[in-house]
Copies of this chain bind each other. A is one copy, B any other.
Amino acid sequence: MARQKKINEKKSDDKRQRILVGAIKVFSTKGFHGSKVSDIAREAGVADGTIYLYFKNKDDILIQLFDESLKVLLNDMRKALSEENDPLKKIRVFIRMHLDSVEKYQSLAEVMQLELRQSSKFMKEHTPKRFTEYLNIISDIIRRGQETEIIRKDMHPAMMKRAIFGAMDEIALGWVLSKQRKRRTYELAECADKLADIFLAGLTLPKQGS
């Protein structure tokens, strides 16, 4: 019985996963508003009704897609950061991994950049707890760097987490848009290192140029 239950759970997980993967493809091709639940069902190779065993509606698919992607990214990020001690190297790792993941999961990044931020239902009703956790990784690194006197103490951690995330996110948006227009203006891997250079220089150096 227990074994059967486990097998059923595994099968169920597979189906749910297939629906999520199908949703990424459909959303990134047709846009969120242009996609139907039946398109996702076809892409995932399941019956339309099956989707409603796992998800309330199309919005719910988007919300769970965001949540699970962030869960995976959070785990990967924490693992990679635990291998570094230096706060400055941690910041470089964070920026690299974030932009790497945009490049690695292009279709998902498209959905996040172009669809998610336009789903007002999502933005208003769903408190993105994991997103807050993700941003707070940055402010925790900054705080730690200030305690050990590696990072300038006058750089507010809450401001810095927004500055670093905002810069990465807008670079990712520009990259996604340039792909859609079929002319790439910059490569993400290169950007990651340049952006890290900028923040590390700014976080460690005395004021200048004013």
On A, residues with C-beta under 8 Å from B are 31, 33, 88-89, 92, 117-120, 123-124, 154-156, 158-159, 162-171, 173-174, 185-186, 190-191, 193-205, 207-210
Contacts and interface: CB of A to CB of B under 8 A. Distances in A.
A121 to B, nearest CB: 9
The list of the 9 closest CB pairs from A to B, nearest first, reads A166-B170, A198-B202, A200-B209, A166-B166, A118-B120, A163-B167, A158-B185, A88-B209, A162-B170
Given A168-B166, A198-B199, A202-B198, A191 B156 contact: yes
Given A198-B202, A199-B198, A202-B199, A162 B155 contact: no
A136 to B, nearest CB: 12
Contact of A117 (B31, B118, B201, B210): B118
A158 B33 CA distance: 30
A169 to B, nearest CB: 6
25 contacts: A33-B120, A88-B209, A92-B209, A92-B210, A118-B123, A154-B194, A155-B194, A159-B171, A159-B185, A159-B186, A159-B194, A162-B171, A162-B174, A164-B167, A166-B167, A166-B173, A167-B167, A169-B170, A193-B210, A197-B209, A198-B199, A200-B209, A201-B202, A201-B208, A204-B208
B158 A186 contact: yes
A203 to B, nearest CB: 7
A107 to B, nearest CB: 18
Contacts of A156: 185-186, 190-191, 194
